[in-house]
Every structure is written in C-alpha cells, then in structure tokens.
Amino acid sequence: MTAPAQPRATPPRSDPAPLARRVAAQARYEALTMLRNGEQLLLLVILPLMALVALTLTDLLDASVPAGASRVDVAVPGVLALCVLSNAFSGQGIQTGFDRRYGVLRFLSTTPLGRGGLIAGKLLAIVAVLAVQYVLVAALGAALGWRPDPAAVLVSVPVLLLGAAAFTGLGLLLAGTVRAEATLAVTNLVWVLLAAVGGTLFPSRTLPESLAWLVDLLPSGALGSALRETFLTGAPSLLPVLVLAVWASAAWAGAVRWFRWS
C-alpha cells in the first residue's frame, strides 16, 4: 500500500526468523565450521582418540587403576575431560577470537541473531560437538573393552556440561580480550600443558605431591577427577564439582565484564 504523500514505494517489511530457529541455525553453522576445520578436528577428535588408544595399550595408567577396574575405565573419563578442553576452550576460543578479529561478531550482532543469539548459538554448538565427541570416544572405548554403568553415563552428562561451562567462560574471556593470534597460541599451549600435567588424562595422584593439590584446584584437574569418580564410583565427590562451579562463575563474570566485541 502506498500513501499518497509517498510517491516512492516502501519495501515490504522484513521479519526475523523465530528465536529458536535463529539460534539453531547459528549452532549448526558454528559446529560444522569447527568440525570441518582440519586443525580443529585434530584437536577435537583425532588427538583424544589417539590418547585413548595409547593409554589403553600402554602401562602409563597402571598405577591409577583401582582394583576391579581396567585401564580403559580410567582412560575414558580422562579423554572425555580432554574433549571438553579441546571443544569449549581451544575450539570455541580460537573460533571466537578470529570471528572477533574479522568483524564477524559485529556483523552478526546487526542481524536478527544479535549478541544474545550469537552466544546462545555458540553454547549450543559446543554441546552438539561434545555429543559427537562423546559418541566417538564411547564407541572406541567400547571396542577397547569399556563397559560403563548406564547410571554413570547419565551422571556424566551434567558433570561434562559443568566442565564445558567453565572452559567456555575461560575461552570466551581469552578470545574477547586479547588478539586472535595470542588466543590461538595460548589455547594450544594450555591444551598441551593441561593434557600432560593438568589432571585430565593422568590423575593428579600420579604427579608429585607438591603439584597434585594445585592441579586439583585447576578446572582441568577438577573435571578429570569428577569424571573418573563418576565412572569408577558412580558419582563425583563435592570438591571437584565445587572447584568447577567456582571457575565457571568467575570465568563467566570476567567474560561478561571484559569481553570486547570488536
């Protein structure tokens, strides 16, 4: 309809897609971008699966295997903790860092997606990638003789999500405050350090006494022990869950406070 005072046409009004569809579209896009990137795929899937094979076939974990359990029972929870680190911290940290550097965050925040939808999409993408990682690790674990208690599998889900919350907060905090190249370097270095001595693949008890208590207070160590306790005893103890909750709250508070979109 054209008003008489307006000789030129006004274009028809454009509407946003519903919120759920916008967020789902962003999650799908983020997850596929991550899984299709060669370096990311190495970090997300290939290295954790190689670690699982190595830890199951060698005697590295033997000192940590409790009576009645096998190596793979100790290896799988550690590898799952490493998957969270790869995905929520390194993967999304690097992706967000470069998106920020190239103005993608600014562009998407002008679309109907907006800043809130963008963050929601990223969180959902992390969960989706984590589901893929879990399925692959569990399948390879099963092939190596892993037979978890179904109840423990159920309990592991909220533990993994709590760990993902802590590492996403840390990843976004880093990606939103330093240059993209610095984010890339730091996340990769931290990944290697935490995989080796951060209490993920190897329980903190295997480390020297003076380091063990420190590692227990790291989000990586807390997530590693919470997952090992879940699968070996049926439930995590309070301390690692508390440590993860504190890290998650602090990291998210910092990200909300200091994250820069440009």
Partner 1 sequence: MPVQSPPASSPALAIERLVKQFPVRRRRRGPDRTADAVQAVDGLSLTARHGEITALLGPNGAGKTTTLECAQGLQRPSAGTVRLLGRDPWRADPDLRARVGVMLQDGGLPQAVRPLELLRHVASLYRSPRDMGELVERLGINSFDRTVVRRLSGGQRQRVALAAALAGSPEVLFLDEPSAGMDPQSRNIVFDLVQQLRREGVCIILTTHLLDDAQRLADQVYIVDHGRVMAQGSVAELVAPGADAPAVLALTLAPEQLDAGPFPWEGPGFEDVRASRSGRTVTLTGPLTPALLEAVTRWFTATGTLPESLSLQPRTLEDVFLDISGREIR
Residues of this chain that interact with partner 1 (CB under 8 A) are 2-3, 5-6, 8-19, 21-22, 25-26, 29, 33, 36-37, 98-99, 102-104, 106-114, 117, 261-262
Min separation Cβ 26 and partner 1, Å? 8
Q: How many CA atoms does the CB half-sphere of 246 hold within 13 Å?
A: 12
Q: In a 10 Å sphere around its CB, with 0-12 CB exposed, 13-18 middle and 19+ buried, how is residue 188 labelled?
A: middle
Min separation Cβ 88 and partner 1, Å? 19
C-beta closer to partner 1: residue 4 or 150:
4
C-beta closer to partner 1: residue 149 or 181:
181
Min separation Cβ 260 and partner 1, Å? 12
Which tokens is 124 given? 């959902």
C-beta closer to partner 1: residue 66 or 103:
103
C-beta closer to partner 1: residue 107 or 258:
107
Min separation Cβ 85 and partner 1, Å? 22
- Distance CA(217)–CA(164), nearest Å, equals 16
Asked whether 224 and 243 are in contact (CB, 8 A), the reply is no
Cα 87 to Cα 20, 60, 64, 165: the distances in Å are: 23, 25, 26, 11
